[in-house]
Amino acid sequence: MKDVSIIIPTFHFADVAKQVLLSALQQTLSPKEIIIIDSSEDHSIRDLVSALESEIPINYQKVAQSFPGEARNLGATFANYEWLAFLDSKTIPRSDWLESNFDTLVSNNVDVVFGTTRYLADTGFQKALRASVFGMKDIETTPGSIIKKSHFDAIGGFREGVRTGDDMEWRQIIKRSYLSCITPKRTSLTYNELPKKLLPTLKRFFIYQLHTSRVDIQNTSKNIMFSFFFIFLTILIPKWNSIVGWEDSMLYLPNITKLYVSLLAVLTIFALVIKRDLLIRYTNSIFGFATVISAFILFFFIATSWNEKIAGWVEDSVWYFPHVTKVYISLALLGSIIYRGIYFPLKNGITLTELLPLWWLKVGLLGLMLDVAKAPGYVLGALLKIFSK
């Protein structure tokens, strides 16, 4: 029998926290204790715990407002048993979650088993949000994870001081450590608390991206410095020869923009064909973000300068494209909408029948708005990272 302490950080949401707690108490493999770290501003969670009758001890701790990582770390200090299992106040575990994940841990002879969460949706907006961001596949999560307390202490627990991203960093630290780990194929938990309105969702994604960008999941500081250099280079190169004085200058470089574009194309093909793992690895990094922005700036410059530089504003020229800038911007937006509205949902378990005939457009537009909301949070968070310890 495994002696396990379940740790649940809470911050309001008493109704769904009750479902989480009841499910934890009714597991087919009973925990030895449940530790609740409550940073709510009211007493709703405390009243919920007081009203429950359970043979399993519930250690309720009221604390000042804390981020999830801080609450989990504090919960671990109160744990009295060999194993730690993590939940949160809005992810409801299956009744056999503990038993099933322990079986996975033993049968695969690993040190850590992560959780897998399926996102649920009721309203039309929630379904569009799920299709655009999460999909119908199970997602690896820290809630649902099981680890020995000694291993948890050895790797240093969760990063504190950030609202989100600490859980992803924690899992990546484990994957890079001496510990062996596995993510079950079976769903561990369900989440049914997706936002129901647009503006709070955009605000939430901005704030989350602000905190996520500060988490040093990769070598963030180096990525930031390279990103600014890369963006600066992309803006500078097309204007280089006009700055130095064209052919009369010793710094004049013929066909510099074409060479730069060719180099970007070669690197892109190399990443897609030869080193796809590099592309995947850096997709969510500041390096990847800067690459996308730099490419957009470069092609925007080409589009806005095309008729002047290539066609010489001669409308009868074969190279003249009417409204080339408007066409470019429209194609860029359409490409983003198609990616977020069709490709991403299909890749993550949403069926084509669900997306057609026009549902994909709503999903894609929502995804585009979320990307726009995240961008300033990401950049601002990156800037804050430079000045943080």
The residue among 323 and 16 whose pLDDT is bigger is 16
> Using one digit for the tens of pLDDT, what is the confidence trace for 276-300?
444 444 444 545 555 555 666 666 6
pLDDT band at residue 270, thresholds of 50, 70 and 90?
low
Q: Is the pLDDT of residue 333 over 60?
A: yes
Interval 231-241 mean pLDDT? 72
pLDDT of 279 reads 46
**Does residue 360 contact residue 341 with C-beta atoms inside 8 Å?**
yes
- The pLDDT value recorded for residue 171 is 93
Residue 63 near residue 47, CB atoms below 8 Å: no
**Whether the predicted pLDDT of 327 surpasses 80:** no
pLDDT score of 301 more than 60? yes
- Which residues of the chain does CATH 3.90.550.10 include? 4-196
Classify strands 181-182 and 33-38 as parallel, antiparallel or unpaired.
unpaired
d(CA 317, CA 335): 28
Strand partners, 86: 7
Tell me the pLDDT band of 12, cut-offs 50, 70 and 90: confident
The percentage of residues in the chain with a pLDDT greater than 70, rounded to a whole number, is 73
Question: When comparing pLDDT for 292 and 185, which is higher?
Answer: 185
Q: Is the dihedral of CA 250, 254, 256, 259 positive or negative?
A: negative
**What letters, b where the CB count within 10 A reaches 16 and e where it falls short, cover 317-334?**
eeeeeeebeeebeeeeee
Q: Strand pairing partners for 116?
A: 140
Does the pLDDT value for residue 197 go beyond 70?
A: yes
pLDDT tens by residue, 40-85: 888 999 999 998 888 999 999 999 888 889 999 999 999 999 999 9
Residue count of the chain: 389
**pLDDT band, residue 224 (cuts 50/70/90):** very low
Averaged confidence pLDDT in the chain: 81
Q: Does domain 4-196 have CATH number 3.40.1410.10?
A: no
pTM of the model as a whole? 0.73
